[in-house]
Structure 1
Amino acid sequence: MAAPMQVHLDEEEVRHEPRLQDTPEDISLDAAANTIAFHPSRDIIAVGDVDGDVYLYSFSCLEGGNKELWSSGHHLKSCREVSFSHDGQKLFTVSKDKCIHILNVEEGRLVTRFSKAHSSALNSLLVIDEHLFATGDDNGELKLWDLRKGTSVMEMKHHEEYISGMALDGNKRLLLTTSGDGTMGVFNIRRRRFELLSEPQSAELTAVTLMKRGKKVVCSSSEGTLYLFNWNGFGATSDRFALKVESIDCLVPVTDSIVCAGSTDGIIRAVNILPNRVIGSVGQHVGEPIEQLAKCPISPFLASCGHDQKVKFWDISSLSSVVVDDYRKKKKKGSQLKSLSRKAIGSGEDFFADLREEAAGPEEKEEDHSSDSDSD
């Protein structure tokens, strides 16, 4: 009689154990988040919101496993960018209040503050190494900072509008910037000098990233087009790929050929670069613009934040095995945008029923020509 009783108790214990999920649960916030960043070596994510507050959360795939570690309200206005130091011990934040803050990750304590760091509201931030980081503001000014000296060591203004994004080459020599004036800037941070501006595009450039082992630069735009540049051919675009979206506001590379793009329609698209294809949808903030994407360096997760006051996690492990060849299948009329997320499928919500597979019709010839020349 004792054995069945023991089995019954074990079942009760199992029933109350936290359920393991494919991705961590959504993080709900009190205000819309502008920016997110993953810790380089721990299951921790930082969030900055429109009220100027900064939060640090641990996350887990266990049901109810997310936990707020601390919050900081040091910024007086909207926090626009957060980024961890490469060793994960510091968190850099920039704000509309023109200040740069460096926080201790363990406690959220303010370690360093650069007040009135720029003459205009800060908009972008890039940590370069243990000593150097770069910031860009709403007026197009770029500054390079050296923590050893406690001040900026390079100040340049070659953009006419806000600096929307920054990227660095593998040698940490050239810093690339995108701007609301439609140009990409190239700055030599080793020699502390400006190199060149690209020709202006027909819309604001919103983000920049490197692909194809650093041989290609991809810029997103407010007209829904991805602009491609060859490395060392920064003056003019080598190719472009128009998605049928109003604006692409953020980019994150997930493989050497696949980038995830967040847009104002709330959808995260996985896009293959050369050949240029929309592979499908990773996920969605329903009806709300996406502000930023971040890829976890230690887990197969993509995180996104949007105007719905949520941080969402997506499993992108399937993208690592996707191979897109040059052959383009003829599309069926009314074909749907393929969902790549088990999270969306498992939820029972058909987020993508009204969406159609997207590709750049008028750009196909240019696109195919570029893919032929990029056989490496």
Structure 2
Amino acid sequence: MKKPKRCLKLNSLPFDIISHPTQDLTAVSTIEGEIVFLSLQDDISKIDTVLQHADSCRRILFSGTSLLSISSDKSFCVCDIETRKVQHRYQNAHDNPLYALCEVRDGKVFATGDDEGVIKLWDLRKEEPIVMIQPEHDNFISSFSVDSTGSTLVAASGDGRLSVWNSRQRKLIARSDECDSELLTCDVVRTNSKVVCGDGEGVLNIFTWDNWGDISDRISVQEEVSVDTVLCYSEDILVLGCMDGVIRATSLFPHKPLTHIGDHSDNSIEALCLSHDEEEILSIGHDYFVRAWSVEKLDEDIKKLSVEDSDKDSGDSEDNDDDESDSSEDEQPKKKKLKHISSKEIKSNETADFFSDLA
């Protein structure tokens, strides 16, 4: 296993992790309903622990001076970051346990989704904050994402479908056909032109904007290893947290597996986020650890990929100048099939490293 420079073991199973965009403040939610506040300065250290919910706290997010959280106790809370005091508690936000949370726009409009597929849109500026209720899906809402304007909201579900909403008009735009497996995460990428969804069979399902009926591409990551969480590192680079505990990076266009960032042994990855200074990727897993991974190797891989693409474009231009008949006679080399690193390969590498140290 790659060793992170820094890690911290929590007292209870973590569900979500998020870093403040400008402050050295990271929050982790747990199965006990707690929110643990961390500092990343020097070592990862606890600043405070607040019991926020009566049951597991499933999702959290920073928005302005507030931290929002949802729970399987059906509540939706807004607390002040500085005082850690609850500003608003919507005790029965849904009829069922909540699972997904997303800021839609303005720091005031949010979306929540529950275990039974119900989506609610909230405008916290209003006295009656619930402005939309839609029971569109037949299974849990796993994830939300929005376009850069906050006008289009996409929701992934355990029923294997993606739904697309006009958040301003509060109406359904489209609903996809059912995919082969449950959709566990979604992200808008490529400047609002694509949506990528990780599923329970280890596949990234790619949807093209305004063509929501069926997927336009399908990228296999690791057979029968679910992609449980996706971090959009840049427009074309994704970091994937998988059920086998491996944190993988991949380029989407073109598709190319990149570096193995790290892993939590065989413990499933629950969530990923970037640190506030964007120098580390933070991960939480079923081993109860918060781990911090440097992005240095990933950035090196991205630079190499950019150079390779430039060289390929130059080579293609030169090839086009050659006689077509000559090029057709040349035997074309077979392309090497690209694949992501597996947990089995990681263990093999660990064993090799162990014996090399004994030599």
Give the equivalent residue in structure 1 for 2:237.
258
Determine which of 249, 274, 284 is the counterpart of 1:305: 284
Distance 1:227 1:297 in 2: 29
Give the letter for the 2:110 counterpart.
Answer: F
Give the equivalent residue in structure 2 for 1:330.
336
Q: TM-score, normalised by structure 1?
A: 0.79
1:240-276 Cα distance to aligned partner (Å, 9 max, x none): 0112242110001112111011111000100110222
Determine which of 190, 197, 201 is the counterpart of 1:219: 197
Give the equivalent residue in structure 2 for 1:200.
178
- The structural deviation recorded for 1:236 is 1.2
Distance 2:299 2:175 in 1: 34
- 2:8 and 2:45 in contact (8 A); partners too: no
Determine which of 106, 111, 114 is the counterpart of 1:137: 114
CA RMSD of aligned residues (A): 2.3
Aligned pair count reads: 317
Give the equivalent residue in structure 2 for 1:247.
226
Alignment partner of 1:353 is 2:344? no
Distance 1:243 1:178 in 2: 19
Alignment partner of 1:28 is 2:9? yes
1:206-239 Cα distance to aligned partner (Å, 9 max, x none): 0001222221111000010100011111111110
Give the equivalent residue in structure 2 for 1:66.
44
Determine which of 98, 112, 119 is the counterpart of 2:95: 119
1:89-146 Cα distance to aligned partner (Å, 9 max, x none): 1100000000011111112111110001000100010122221111000010111111
Give the letter for the 1:32 counterpart.
Answer: L
User: Residues 213 and 319 from structure 1, CA distance in 2 versus in 1: closer, same or farther, beyond 3 angstroms?
Assistant: farther
Alignment partner of 1:47 is 2:28? yes
Give the equivalent residue in structure 1 for 2:72.
96
- 1:48 and 1:79 in contact (8 A); partners too: yes
1:249-306 Cα distance to aligned partner (Å, 9 max, x none): 0001112111011111000100110222221311100110011111234232111111
Which 4+ runs in 1 deviate beyond 3 A? 324-329, 335-339
Distance 2:118 2:185 in 1: 16
Give the equivalent residue in structure 1 for 2:268.
289
1:74-100 Cα distance to aligned partner (Å, 9 max, x none): 301111001000x2x110000000001
- 1:168 and 1:176 in contact (8 A); partners too: yes
- 1:24 and 1:59 in contact (8 A); partners too: no
User: Residues 297 and 235 from structure 1, CA distance in 2 versus in 1: closer, same or farther, beyond 3 angstroms?
Assistant: farther
Give the equivalent residue in structure 2 for 1:37.
18
- The structural deviation recorded for 1:330 is 2.2
Distance 2:70 2:54 in 1: 11
1:172 match: secondary structure: coil
1:311-365 Cα distance to aligned partner (Å, 9 max, x none): 1111113434512657795269xx99499xxxxxxxxxx756279xxxxxxxxxx
Alignment partner of 1:82 is 2:53? no
Determine which of 312, 315, 326 is the counterpart of 2:294: 315
Distance 1:336 1:247 in 2: 13
- 1:337 and 1:352 in contact (8 A); partners too: no
- 1:120 and 1:138 in contact (8 A); partners too: yes
Distance 1:338 1:218 in 2: 21
Distance 2:284 2:9 in 1: 10
Distance 1:95 1:338 in 2: 33
1:275 match: secondary structure: coil
Give the equivalent residue in structure 1 for 2:140.
162
Give the letter for the 2:103 counterpart.
Answer: V
Give the equivalent residue in structure 1 for 2:258.
279
Give the letter for the 1:142 counterpart.
Answer: I
Structure 1: tracts of 5 or more residues without a match: 1-21, 340-349, 356-376
Give the equivalent residue in structure 2 for 1:171.
149
- 2:259 and 2:298 in contact (8 A); partners too: no
Give the equivalent residue in structure 1 for 2:213.
235
Alignment partner of 1:186 is 2:186? no
2:283 match: secondary structure: strand
1:8-49 Cα distance to aligned partner (Å, 9 max, x none): xxxxxxxxxxxxxx9762121111101000101012110001
Q: TM-score, normalised by structure 2?
A: 0.83
- 1:279 and 1:338 in contact (8 A); partners too: no
Give the letter for the 2:11 counterpart.
Answer: D
- 1:38 and 1:295 in contact (8 A); partners too: yes
